[in-house]
Amino acid sequence: MFLPSHFAAVVLFALFASVVFGITQRETPRRMIHYGIYCFVLFVGSAIVLSWLMFLIAR
Amino acid sequence: MATVANKNAAGQDSQQGFVYLPLIAGWLVPGAGHFLLRKWGRGALLSASILGMFVVGIAMQGKLYAGAHDILDLLGLAGDLGNGLLYVVSRAAGWGADQVTVTTADYGTRFIVVAGLLNVIAAVDAHNLRTGRKT
């Protein structure tokens, strides 16, 4: 049984999804890599921002 | 002009044979559609990502939807079916949890559903490559 932390789960999800998005949504390898990195940063960044927002709202 | 002629020739070539084979193969086995089109690198990355997400979901004790009792179950089942043979094999082998009991199992369930949806995107991409809509 694999029990990752919430953050590790977010990073794994972002990594797998970003690879697929990068390859399928762009045509050239260079643009695929850029778009994959862009999606990864958005996934992880938005999770961190929303987590802090929920933390501040709950206080 | 030469470029247009080449594109037309490529378009005609790409229409020969059964154009839905990469779509179906890609749905049944993640990355297989790209392998059929000799896109080895893309196929390997797609296969690793989709298989990885599915395996992590199973390892997190994620639930495999077996039936549709309400609309959310129906959506979950549709997502799971996107995994193709992975879903069939996993059901036959009895992998995955019947009920979600821990938080990570809830995440695992989402991982499995999203792996199926990503597999559908990858299969459609293989179809677009086959028809010449994408290069």
Give the mean pLDDT of A25-38: 97
Instruction: Reply yes or no on whether the pLDDT at B110 is more than 80.
Output: yes
Q: From CA B93, how far away is CA B112, in angstroms rounded?
A: 16
For residue B16, what pLDDT is reported? 72
**Angle of CA points A22, A12, A45, to nearest 5°:** 75
| pLDDT-derived band at B135, boundaries 50, 70, 90 | confident
Contact B60 A12 (CB under 8 A): no
- Average confidence (pLDDT) over A15-41: 98
What average pLDDT does chain B have? 90
Q: Are B132 and B10 in contact (CB under 8 A)?
A: yes
Angle at which helices B103-131 and B21-28 cross, to 10°? 160
Helices (H), B29-135: 32-36, 40-59, 71-81, 85-93, 103-131
CB contact residues (below 8 A), chain B span 23-52, against chain A: 42, 45-46, 48-50, 52
**Closest partner CB to A2 (pick from B50, B53, B56):** B56
Q: What is the pLDDT of residue B2?
A: 43
Determine the pLDDT at residue B88. 97
Q: Which residues of B touch A20 (CB under 8 A)?
A: 46, 49-50, 118, 121-122
* Residue bearing tokens 């977010």: A10
Distance separating alpha carbons of residues B112 and B50, to the nearest angstrom: 9
pLDDT tens sequence across B20-30: 999 999 999 99
pLDDT of B54-105, one tens digit each? Answer: 999 999 999 999 988 899 999 999 999 999 999 999 999 999 888 888 889 9
* Interfacial A residues in 9-38 facing B (CB < 8 Å): 9, 12-13, 15-17, 19-21, 23-24, 27
pLDDT at residue number B13: 52
pTM above 0.80, yes or no: yes
Cα B65 from Cα B51, distance rounded (Å): 18
pLDDT of residue B14: 52
Say which residue, B10 or A19, is predicted with more confidence: A19
Q: Which of A1, A15, A20 sits opposite B46 (nearest CB)?
A: A20
Give the pLDDT score at B42.
Answer: 97
